[in-house]
Amino acid sequence: MKKRISAFIKKNSKRVVSYLVTNRLFIIYVLFALTETIIIRANTIKNVFDYKPFICDLALIIIIGSFAFFIKPNKRYKYYRNWLIIYTLMCVINSIYYIFYTSFVSFSLLTTVSQIETVGDSLIEKFRVIDFIYVIFPILFHFIHKLFLNDNYYFYVSKVEKGKKAFSSTILVGIIILSFTLVGITASDASRLVKQWNRELIVQRFGIILYQGNDLVQSLTPKISSLFGYEEASKEFKDYYGERFKELDNKKSNKYTNVFEGMNVIFVHLESIQNYLVDLKINNQEITPTLNKLVREGMYFNNFYPQISVGTSSDTEFTWATSLMPASSGTVFVSYYDREYVTIQKLLKEQGYYTFSAHANSSTMWNRNNMHPSLGYEEMIFKDQFDIGDKSDPRWLGLGLNDVDFFLQLQPKLEAIENEHEHYMGTLIQLSNHSPFAATDYNPELYNYFGELDLTNTYTTVDEKTGEKVTKTDNYLKGTKLGNYLISAHYSDMALGTFMDYINKSDYYDNTLFVFYGDHDARLNKNEYVYYYNYNTDTGEVYQEGDENYYDYNNFKHEINRRTPLVFWTKNKSIARRIKGINENTMGMYDILPTLGNMMGFTNKYALGHDIYSVKDNNFVVFPNGNFVTNSVYYSSSANNYLILKEDVIIEEDYIEDIKKQAEDILSVSNDIIVHNLIKKEGDNIVVNEE
């Protein structure tokens, strides 16, 4: 028996050695490709030592590489090289994209590639040398190929190798390895893979190659046939809204019902303004004095979350207008602008309102020239209608016309609209605080006109040599992305201040509600905040992890920090007194429509959000990646863990599972509406279940 085992091992050992010798180029291809997949996970989701994505990537690399055995040995180099280039491009693009969006790129985003020119500075600003480390591997592979040519490797292989047999054994190994990672797949894993909600979780579970391949299929499917999955989507849509309509029928009024009825409304889109800026002071200087004043005078929602995906600002515009979620693949503004949506704009138009939008950027940015009419805007005031000049013009700041001139040039346009229309609704989109947050670099004279923002820190320390006390000044935020952001946000707020001075002094707008909302967070890296929160202003030192004073700014806190301000404000004093105050309940962008609808007297029966004054403490906000937040807990889908937000609150598993189910239903039905145009095709065919 021992002899047989020994003989078997010896025989197969020779086969393995022979395989390795005759397939050195294939082995190098596998090692290089696998290393790239490990590095991309190290640069993004950090799960380097997780065996599941490792095995999945390895299996797919082997399976893809096995088909080279149908090619003559001297031509296999090109096959392996081309695949290495594909892996390299995939890793470089995702590595950069992840820093910007904390997600992985989708093929469906190829339709938005035209946006890159407009925000190119934002992308370049985030480049890191390590994002291009993958380029080394195709280059090394080329030099190894040259060495093999000089060593007559390919001639030797052609004499001893049997291609079809090598293919069979290689692909079999790949399939066996792949089966190990697929054996433990759960229904939840499969659902996320199909629905592509949480790209980070898919890469974490299945690796970058399967994610990107699956994404290609998911991106092409709607393009191949708009009927794909239509029947299932239609049933889900009818079932969901059959129950939802019963909820609307039982809706009760509250103390703010119709409080703004008959008023005009102007939405002010505060680009990249986050909630932590409210009342933030550095060197006794308010970063956002205008916003602080609005918060004190208006109805302030201090626990408000944007619900963006890859479409950032455009996702926000879509979600507050429709109370639907962003698309799970691509962006609604670019890929699904031709669908039927029920929007605030259209609902107010039905009541006789004139609707308009204004933005000092190109109308093609995020395809607004097509999407804004689809949302229901009648007039669009874009870049070509402002006196702006080019980048050499002193009025140019960041991506276009500075916010001060934007508001200044809008004044006669707004007055004309008020004179010509009894009722109107408009959206004013700020631009100057768009990343890369370098307002002072573009036009320091313009910024200094509103006052220098001092971000230095002065502290007293003891000189180690003399023992005397000395005063030091540390410009600890200079050159940091967070420092640039604070300067840029301060400028943007000052520009908003000039607009509010005009509004308050004007004879117009006595019957106008202003809705100020931060569209999304600044997309800054967590490490920027780790440094900021651990800088000791008394000593100039930075606390390190392990220090008793170290502030653990973890992933949960970073997600919660993405909150943005939402303020309802009016110069009408009697109404202002009625609404003044702070609402601390958790609220999302999709709650704006039903909340404002209750106050103005309109209803969107397809809204996925809620009137915050009706649900109050029971509200929850779901994010496109499957995360959700309530007053009590923040749940992370990728970590399958949660952070309790209130002391002495006990969270039952049923509570988490119930909201997870509701969150998945919302994401699913919202995407079905978008992809299959269900409001137009099936909206009138919903029957309320009376059981």
* DSSP 8-state symbol, 465: T
Is 6 a residue whose pLDDT tops 70? no
| Percent of the chain residues topping a pLDDT of 70 | 87
Residue 687 has what pLDDT?
A: 58
Residue 247 has what pLDDT?
A: 74
**HSE-CB for 490 with a 13 A CA cutoff:** 26
Higher pLDDT, 123 or 404: 404
Is 321 a residue whose pLDDT tops 90? yes
Confidence band of 447 (pLDDT split at 50, 70, 90): low
Is 559 a residue whose pLDDT tops 50? yes
Other C-beta atoms lying within 10 Å of the C-beta of residue 660: 17
131-140 pLDDT, tens digit per residue, is 889 999 999 9
Is 469 a residue whose pLDDT tops 80? yes
Residue 225 has what pLDDT?
A: 43
Q: For the chain, give the number of residues.
A: 691
Higher pLDDT, 478 or 431: 431
Of 589, 568, 591, the closest CA to residue 580 belongs to 568
Averaged over 684-689, what is the pLDDT?
63
Is 186 a residue whose pLDDT tops 80? no
Query: Per-residue b/e over 237-254, b at no fewer than 16 CB within 10 Å?
Result: bbebbeebbeeeeeeeee
Residue 691 has what pLDDT?
A: 45
Residue 208 has what pLDDT?
A: 93
Higher pLDDT, 419 or 330: 419
Averaged over 300-329, what is the pLDDT?
94
Contacts 24+ apart (CB under 8 A), 214-223: 215/104, 215/106, 215/107, 215/108, 215/329, 216/107, 218/108, 218/194, 218/329, 219/106, 219/107, 219/108, 219/329, 219/330, 220/107, 222/329, 222/675
Residue 228 has what pLDDT?
A: 64
3-state SS string for 138-177 = HHHHHHHHHHHHHCCHHHHHHHHCCHHHHHHHHHHHHHHH
The domains of the chain, with CATH numbers, are 15-224 (no CATH), 232-685 (3.40.720.10)
Is 122 a residue whose pLDDT tops 70? no
Dihedral sign, Cα of residue 4, residue 5, residue 8, residue 13: negative
Q: What are phi and psi of 208, to 5 degrees?
A: -75, -35
H helices present in 185-328, as ranges? 187-195, 199-224, 230-249, 289-297, 312-322
The CA-atom distances, in angstroms, between 465 and each of 192, 468, 469, 470, 472 are 62, 8, 11, 11, 16
Residue 331 has what pLDDT?
A: 86
Rounded to whole angstroms, how far apart are CA atoms 361 and 383? 5
**In the structure encoding, which two tokens stand for residue 53, read together?**
């994505």
Is 503 a residue whose pLDDT tops 90? yes
Of 74, 76, 56, 57, the closest CA to residue 66 belongs to 76
Q: Of 74-78, 185-189, 199-203, where does mean pLDDT reach its minimum?
A: 185-189
Assign 621 to helix, strand or coil. strand
**In the block, which residue shows the tokens 């809706």?**
251
Assign 302 to helix, strand or coil. coil
Higher pLDDT, 347 or 469: 347
518-552 pLDDT, tens digit per residue, is 999 998 989 999 999 999 988 889 999 999 999 99
Give the CA radius of gyration of the chain. Answer: 29
Rounded to whole angstroms, how far apart are CA atoms 534 and 527? 11
When mean pLDDT is compared over 2-16, 323-337, 620-634, the highest value belongs to: 620-634
Is 227 a residue whose pLDDT tops 60? no
561-615 pLDDT, tens digit per residue, is 999 999 999 999 999 999 999 999 999 999 999 999 999 999 999 999 999 999 9
3-state SS string for 63-124 = HHHHHHHHCCHHHHHHHHHHHHHHHHHHHHHHHHHHHHHCCCCCHHHHHHHHHCCCCHHHHH
Is 121 a residue whose pLDDT tops 60? no
Confidence band of 450 (pLDDT split at 50, 70, 90): low
Of 384, 370, 377, 274, the closest CA to residue 331 belongs to 370
Q: Of 116-125, 210-219, 245-254, where does mean pLDDT reach its minimum?
A: 116-125
Answer whether 0.95 is exceeded by the pTM: no
Averaged over 465-493, what is the pLDDT?
88
Cis before residue 222, ω within 30 degrees of 0? no
**In the block, which residue shows the tokens 């699904």?**
336
**In the structure encoding, which two tokens stand for residue 365, read together?**
């940015």
Cis before residue 436, ω within 30 degrees of 0? yes
Answer yes or no: are the C-beta atoms of 401 and 430 closer than 8 Å: no
Is 313 a residue whose pLDDT tops 60? yes
Assign 600 to helix, strand or coil. helix
Assign 308 to helix, strand or coil. coil
Rounded to whole angstroms, how far apart are CA atoms 478 and 368? 35
Average pLDDT over the chain reads 87
Higher pLDDT, 688 or 354: 354
